[in-house]
Structures are given as C-alpha cells and as structure tokens.
Amino acid sequence: MAASLDGFIARKDGRVDWLETIRRVRRRGDHGPRIREAFLKTIDCYVMGSRTYETALSFEANGLGWSYGDTPTFVLTSRVLPRIRDTVEFYSGDLAQFVNGRLRPAFRTIWFVGGGVVSAECLRLGLADEVRYSILPILIGDGIQFFEKLDRDIPLHLAEVTAYKSGMVELRYEVLALRRRALSEHRLKAGDQCQELSNRK
C-alpha cells in the first residue's frame, strides 16, 4: 500500500490525486519501478475492497490502464459493481474462511491491495504474514487511514527498508505473532526429526 507521510491512503472523498507526486519528483537512475515490477510478478492473486476496486476502475477510465494484468483479482463487496474482465471475481462473506478455505489451497502468494478496512481486518484475523508500506514524500493533512479501527496492538518485525531517489521509502514488516508461530513450528519439526533419528539409532 502507498501512503502519505502522515499515514493516509486516500483523501476523505477517496481521491488519490496526490499519488502523482511520485511521478513529478522521480529522478533518473531510480531503479524502483524495475524492482517493483519484478516483485509484482511473484503475486499469484490480488484481494481488495470495493473502494480500491473503484479507484482502479477510475485509473483505467483515465487511460492509466488496469494495474493488475491477467492476475486473478478478488473484490470483497456486498454491492453490485461492474465486472470489467474475466479475471475479476466478487466475494461477500466470511473473510477468514475465504482466505484459508478458498485462496490458500489455490495460490501461494496472496496480495491484499487494501484499502484501510480490509488491511485492518486481515491483521485482526491473523491472516497477514507481512506488511509492505510505501511512504510517499507528501503530507495531505487528512484522509482515509492505512489501517482503520484496529482493536488491538499488532507487533511487527522490520525486515527490510528501501529508499529511492524519488523520495519514496518502502518498508517491509513481518507480522511478529505469525513469525514467532512459524519459528515455533520449525523448531517443533526439527525436534520431531531429531527424535526420529534418535529412535532409529
């Protein structure tokens, strides 16, 4: 998710005109676009809320193209929205059941595009493994927050920081609870393997 320095992903009315900042300040020699393009190729499917989907539709209507290519895209909504391509599918229901029962068995890398409500819900339900936060060099004063209405603390582990000549900074955080769980499961498996070797001896 891209956000302003003061933590907003859109203005109160949903406009993201300030994203043009990154294009105006981009300088020669910034390899950010190539790095991001390589990363996008690793994504197997996208999940987004209805407002993010409508923003993507407005970008396409203004000649900026469809940002998600031919990658399967799932839109979380209970509203009736235009389906502009075969790769788009709408879903309304239990998010955890959808992710764990439908998406995880079919896709290795599931990318939640947002917006704020969807991002917060993923963290609240323990569905997110990591958070990627791109900070743009602009303050907009007010708007829609990156994470809306979190009901508890979510500890994170800073895994990577990348600064670009454009002034943008990308942060990659691992969700600490899931990281600890993965390490614990790894140790448990390693312990089982050691026990098995010991039994064989």
More confident residue, 23 or 84: 84
Range 116-123 average pLDDT: 86
Percent of the chain with pLDDT over 90: 40
What does the H/E/C string look like for 166-186? CCCEEEEEEEHHHHHHHHHHH
Backbone φ and ψ for 175, nearest 5 degrees, come out as -70, 115
Distance of alpha carbon 188 from alpha carbon 179, whole angstroms: 14
- 21-30, 83-92, 120-129: segment of lowest average pLDDT: 21-30
**Average pLDDT of 27-54?**
76
Phi, psi of 94 (to 5 degrees): -70, 120
How many Å apart are CA 60 and CA 85, to the nearest integer?
Answer: 12
Q: End-to-end CA distance of the chain, in Å?
A: 52
Question: 111: how many CB neighbours lie within 10 A of its CB?
Answer: 18
Asked if residue 74 lies in contact with residue 47, where contact means CB atoms within 8 angstroms, the answer is: yes
Per-residue confidence (pLDDT) for residue 183, from 0 to 100: 47
Q: What is the distance between the alpha carbons of residues 61 and 16, in angstroms, rounded to a whole number? A: 15
Distance between CA atoms of 139 and 115, rounded to whole angstroms? 19
Average pLDDT over residues 45-68: 89
Q: Which two tokens stand for residue 60?
A: 């396409």
CA separation, residue 56 to residues 73, 81, 115, 197 (Å): 12, 12, 12, 54
**Domains located in the chain, CATH noted:** 2-175 (3.40.430.10)
Residue 192, pLDDT above cutoff 60: no
Residue 10 has pLDDT above 90, yes or no: no
pLDDT in tens, 136-168: 999 999 988 887 777 788 899 999 999 988 888
How far apart CA 60 and CA 67 sit, in angstroms, is: 8
